[in-house]
Structure 1
Amino acid sequence: MQDPEIREATASEPLSLDEEYNMQRSWRTDADKLTFIVCLPWSGQSSSAEDRILEKEADAEDRMIGDVNLFLRQEEEDDDNGDYGDHAEGNGEKNSKIIGEVELMIAEKQHQRHGYGRAALLTFLRYIALHRREIAADFLHREVSSDDNADNGRDIDCLSVKIGQTNHRSLALFESTGFVKVSDTPNYFGEFELRLEKFERGHIEELCEKYRITTYEEIQYR
């Protein structure tokens, strides 16, 4: 994050080491955040998933190349025109929606333009699609109940991303995975907002097949 280009691309400010540690703690514990570290592909072999030790192997420091994040918020629907406005303290009522804002960064230039960003994004979207109700329930501080399938107000309704108008590579990446601009003109900060309304498991798996990202496995971190 000492690179000004990365800070500009991620709309970030330089932080002290203590501030970085505090932010890391909040990412680990806050229910409105989900963050994964992106690492280089790993070819380690073992007899079973339970025997795999990821620490200092697949996610060794020299294999880390970026991160991908989800920030959850609620927006309340305007009954007059159907637009959405910020909803600071929503409680999951049916007139509010849960929006997941996605951020993606491949930090080092030598690792860009190799497909890692798309692979990380689609893998992350697949994880969200598989666990969307658990993620929403955690965000709303409640247990996942047996009738959640009928509870339309307790789910992530859409995903959003905000990208600088000159960041053409990121715009093309997210548009290639189904994100659509909500406006033809950038906002006050010079950013386009794009949204993905359809991100069910089947749709994400089709995208993974299209871009040959065919191996997906969740392994419990130890």
Structure 2
Amino acid sequence: MRINEDTLLEGHRAVLVPYGPQHVPRYHSWMQSEELQLLTASEPLTLQQEYDMQRSWREDQDKCTFIALDREQWSAPAVQEEQCMMGDVNLFLTDPGDPSVAELEVMIAEPRFRGKGVGTEVATMMMSYGITKLGIQKFQVKIGLDNHISISMFKKLHFTEVSTCSVFKEVTLELLVDPSVRSWILDRTSHVTERSYSQSRSQRPEPEST
């Protein structure tokens, strides 16, 4: 989805930027992990397939993707953006007849950033973006039954369990965006600033050559 191709969202701990070709090698290395493959129900891809997938996520009108960066590292002078990568967050418009319904996925790939509230901030930043920019009125998440941490996180974000699939070993949770939920999410993300990604990149100092 091209709507966010020049969007940067800066929060307390996380910075969300569009998924570009420069992020693919690091992302590809993450997805060689059997743990992440299991948690995301993904199959390993070749590097070329990963580049193809990145282009698909950028072009397809039913997908919106950001890479999550560590704000502390990102704010440091002359640090390569790829070194700041923590994970990603995605919205998938799963119902062709209703573009107000979206499936939300959050992956914090770097273990050192887990359990610190990063996933919660990234999720709420994306939910706020989905509500204000895409008109999302219902969020869904599908999580493996053994992924108790993610299930707990989304329940704390007021998602409720609606179904369990024993075949795929996953649970589906939903959040309807009524006026009170909208107000709660926008208030929770009032600290987030939005600006041009291309301008922010051009203003960053180049890393020193070694």
The TM-score with structure 2 as length reference comes to 0.71
User: What letter corresponds to residue 112 of structure 1 in structure 2?
Assistant: R
Q: Percent identity?
A: 39
Displacement of 1:130 = 1.2
User: What letter corresponds to residue 220 of structure 1 in structure 2?
Assistant: S
Are 1:69 and 2:50 matched, yes or no? no
Displacement of 1:157 = 3.6
2:159 match: 179
Alignment of 1:180-195 (within 5 A): 180-183=160-163, 185-195=164-174
Aligned pair in 2 of structure 1 residues 73, 186: CA closer, same or farther (>3 Å)?
closer
Following the alignment from structure 1 to structure 2, what is the Cα–Cα distance between the partners of residues 220 and 191?
37
Higher relative contact order (CA closer than 8 Å, sequence separation 6+): 2
Please give the secondary structure, in 2, of the residue aligned with 1:170.
Answer: helix
Following the alignment from structure 1 to structure 2, what is the Cα–Cα distance between the partners of residues 120 and 62?
18
Displacement of 1:181 = 0.6
Are 1:6 and 2:26 matched, yes or no? no
- Give the paired residue count: 165
1:33 match: 63
Kept after mapping to 2: 8 A contact 1:72/1:98: yes
2:205 match: none
The TM-score with structure 1 as length reference comes to 0.68
Kept after mapping to 2: 8 A contact 1:123/1:216: yes
2:176 match: 197
Displacement of 1:201 = 3.6
Kept after mapping to 2: 8 A contact 1:118/1:173: yes
CA-based RMSD of the aligned residues comes to: 2.3
Following the alignment from structure 1 to structure 2, what is the Cα–Cα distance between the partners of residues 201 and 126?
8
1:60 match: 81
Following the alignment from structure 1 to structure 2, what is the Cα–Cα distance between the partners of residues 2 and 176?
30
Please give the secondary structure, in 2, of the residue aligned with 1:14.
Answer: coil
Q: Residue 23 of structure 1 is aligned with which of 53, 59, 63? A: 53
Following the alignment from structure 1 to structure 2, what is the Cα–Cα distance between the partners of residues 195 and 201?
14
Following the alignment from structure 2 to structure 1, what is the Cα–Cα distance between the partners of residues 166 and 186?
32
2:192 match: 216
User: What letter corresponds to residue 62 of structure 1 in structure 2?
Assistant: Q
Kept after mapping to 2: 8 A contact 1:130/1:201: no
Q: List 4+ stretches of structure 1 deviating above 6 A.
A: none
2:105 match: 103
User: What letter corresponds to residue 219 of structure 1 in structure 2?
Assistant: R
